[in-house]
A and B are shown apart, each in its own frame.
Chain A
């Protein structure tokens, strides 16, 4: 036992100091065999983490996948998971020593003193229970009020987190609510008993930017009222809007910790610097994001866009694309309405919009995987939609695609080489040996090693999988690559590498990209021109600079305003948030 338990001032400091963690270590047993078998291993996932937080402050724990940030968060609510082994010199939450607590005691603490907000509200809420009842349950567990007062309190809580018509919403089940409302309901149940400390694990990750902005505002309001917030996030710009203190985690340890402004504007550790550099934004346009990319690209200089002859016909042309589906209720819903765009040779057209804006449906029509109800797509001036599949097949190779989730786009039986071989034309490369050589060449082009070719997609990392997907898209020597949220599932540093790779390839091969993303930063970084979509309509279209610097449409302005901003370094401090 350490001295902290008997520390006399523990109770006194509890009012200010909500969180005091010293040298927290968490390890897991993992292995294929039974626990205790010789082939099991201990994985040390949180190493000597020390954190502290005062009331009315927000501490952000930042890191990429596998950095141990979520395990840290779960340990702070006593849910580290199955085989976890937790050790700490001090583990103090809201004035309670929690290191030795049993499950019963944890349950009393959770909800009452500590609120926990999870990432995905759809899986975290009981699908069969109205959200109001979910909140009442949180109150009931701690013996708050009676049935009637709890119902009233639930409505009041929903109202307090900004849910419109809370009386009606309280009676609805999670699937009847939008993502933003679900997340609010989840937050409402976490703060039902007014906990002093709220731990939020990626609370806005699954949300659209405009909704994210609302949730961040809500959390900021709670902070102002004196709640301590521990925010776990991979998104540095989200962190920048809310956090007072930032702890950057890498490989289970904290590499840098300090006041948010200092860490984000003047990072000391090279990992923090790399993380910040990797965030695509307006300032990064035309420059590589990742470190190794930088060395490679400076020799070839920045992309030169003016070289393209202005009169060259567009490679892909969409005219008045319209698509509607009949919903399960029999009502015809128009998903895409009268969308037109042009994609020039060697150009990147970014399509940006929130979920349900019709951008993926537009992409599928551009790929001719989906016939438009009205309008048409032209490829190199010839009909691309509205013709027979057989007539299209010979030109299929000209337009390829990279999806968000590469894993599901690979046949699980095949290894990387087989996947590439399948995409290589048999007329251009008639012999097996030529095709194998081509596969190796493609792998080299996207930065995959020869040893990766023998592996199955499951054995590759997320970044390697996306590289493989890009190699496959390159294999038929296309003119256009449709990138449908191609980097959205990647960590920011991996995303940076993949974006750099895409820029290099575009320059080298003169490719045209149709770049679809919900991420405005990525769109700004990559695109020459941008198409903003909302509810199936093309709201605004123009050059990236025009869209981002002088948007004409109110929706575009709203979208840009909701984007959390990173305080930029010395270069742009005058324009940054003050």
Chain B
């Protein structure tokens, strides 16, 4: 028997360790959505009721135990004032998540209005909105945010508005494209041919189908917004120092980076964990949504 095998060599033992990128790793493991959900749940509890996760006070100063490395008493170590870092990370979740959700929500809100107007409006409106978005695109998000924070002063609200405004144009472009694609799709034409009114077609077909990819994008956006906000805080443009917001923690730990690595690593890990979990969950939801129609 002449046998030609054109199959690339497959290794049946190729497990998660063979994967390179963390996102791919998370996607490959069936557990990923569960783990991600657990991580997200942890931070949501931390944001709503932080006292459930720690009995300490995030602002309690204990100079005797300043800059303790991570250990049994202080799992994340302590900062220069002896405050427990784990407690501070837990308490910081509220503001960080608020910024993430708020900024994404604001961005999506602006984007839906602009994108739908641009996609459904006439050529003139589309032209005006599209050029406007292109101008916004020309400014780096960070520059826009810095400008905003400098004018209105650092606070959670300004962070939300700054990051929200900065990321809105991207979403708006995406929604515009979706609306245009759906508007010219076969099923919209079929619905018109059945005699449905313009409004019925918009409500039944155009909006739901144009917004569908948003579900996944939103979860991705939350993680990104937190990273953006932390970046701003690290530059000193975030929430004021005593606050345990994650970006502020990073900013504060910067001075001690050579002596106390945990001050940077632990809040950083929290940011990575929530961003990764939200992203992975986003992918999972996206796949589920696509799977529903296949």
Binding site for B on A (CB under 8 A): 1-2, 5, 29, 34-37, 80, 82-91, 99-101, 367, 369, 389, 392-397, 399-401, 403, 405, 408-413, 422-423, 456, 458-459, 472, 475-476
- Most-contacted residue by chain B among A91, A409, A459 (CB, 10 A): A409
In-complex Cβ contact of A410 among B10, B187, B197 (8 A)? B187
Q: Tell me whether A422 and B191 are in contact (CB under 8 A).
A: yes
| CB-CB nearest 9 A-B residue pairs | A396-B195, A408-B186, A35-B10, A409-B186, A36-B12, A99-B2, A409-B190, A36-B10, A411-B187
A37 to B11, CA, bound (A): 10
Q: Tell me whether B209 and A87 are in contact (CB under 8 A).
A: no
Known: A37-B12, A405-B186. 9 other contacts (CB 8 A): A2-B2, A34-B14, A85-B6, A100-B4, A396-B194, A403-B190, A422-B191, A422-B196, A472-B194
Binding site of A, secondary structure by majority: helix, strand, loop or mixed? loop
Chain B: which residue is nearest A403 at the CB level?
A: B186
Find chain B residues with CB under 8 A from A405 CB. Answer: 186
Find chain B residues with CB under 8 A from A400 CB. Answer: 193-194
Find chain A residues with CB under 8 A from B62 CB. Answer: none
In-complex Cβ contact of B4 among A5, A99, A475 (8 A)? A99
Instruction: Determine whether B74 belongs to the interface, using a CB cutoff of 8 Å to chain A.
Output: no
Find chain A residues with CB under 8 A from B189 CB. Answer: 369, 409
Binding site for A on B (CB under 8 A): 1-8, 10-12, 14, 28, 185-187, 189-198, 204-205, 208-209, 212, 292-294
Find chain B residues with CB under 8 A from A82 CB. Answer: 8
- Knowing A36-B11, A405-B186, A456-B292, the reply to whether A367 touches B193 (Cβ < 8 A) is yes
A454 to B12, CA, bound (A): 37
Q: Tell me whether A413 and B208 are in contact (CB under 8 A).
A: yes
Q: Tell me whether B7 and A83 are in contact (CB under 8 A).
A: yes
Chain A: which residue is nearest B2 at the CB level?
A: A99
Find chain A residues with CB under 8 A from B197 CB. Answer: 393
Chain A nearest CB, measured from B16 CB (Å): 11
In-complex Cβ contact of B2 among A91, A396, A408 (8 A)? A91
Q: Tell me whether B186 and A412 are in contact (CB under 8 A).
A: no
Pairs A–B under 8 Å by Cβ, sample size 20: A34-B10, A34-B14, A80-B6, A85-B4, A86-B6, A87-B2, A87-B3, A89-B2, A99-B2, A100-B4, A369-B192, A389-B198, A397-B194, A397-B195, A399-B193, A401-B190, A403-B190, A409-B190, A412-B209, A458-B294
A192 to B195, CA, bound (A): 55
Find chain B residues with CB under 8 A from A2 CB. Answer: 1-2
Q: Tell me whether A413 and B186 are in contact (CB under 8 A).
A: no
Find chain A residues with CB under 8 A from B196 CB. Answer: 422
Chain B nearest CB, measured from A225 CB (Å): 32
Chain A nearest CB, measured from B263 CB (Å): 40
Q: Tell me whether B4 and A413 are in contact (CB under 8 A).
A: no
Chain B nearest CB, measured from A240 CB (Å): 34
Q: Tell me whether B14 and A36 are in contact (CB under 8 A).
A: yes
Chain A nearest CB, measured from B14 CB (Å): 7
A365 to B215, CA, bound (A): 38
Q: Tell me whether B212 and A413 are in contact (CB under 8 A).
A: yes
Chain B nearest CB, measured from A165 CB (Å): 37
- Knowing A100-B4, A405-B186, the reply to whether A412 touches B193 (Cβ < 8 A) is no
Q: Tell me whether B204 and A422 are in contact (CB under 8 A).
A: yes
Find chain A residues with CB under 8 A from B191 CB. Answer: 411, 422
Chain B nearest CB, measured from A318 CB (Å): 17
Chain A nearest CB, measured from B67 CB (Å): 46
Q: Tell me whether A459 and B294 are in contact (CB under 8 A).
A: yes
Chain B: which residue is nearest A394 at the CB level?
A: B195
A99 to B6, CA, bound (A): 11
Find chain B residues with CB under 8 A from A395 CB. Answer: 195
- Knowing A393-B195, A456-B293, the reply to whether A411 touches B209 (Cβ < 8 A) is yes
A355 to B84, CA, bound (A): 75
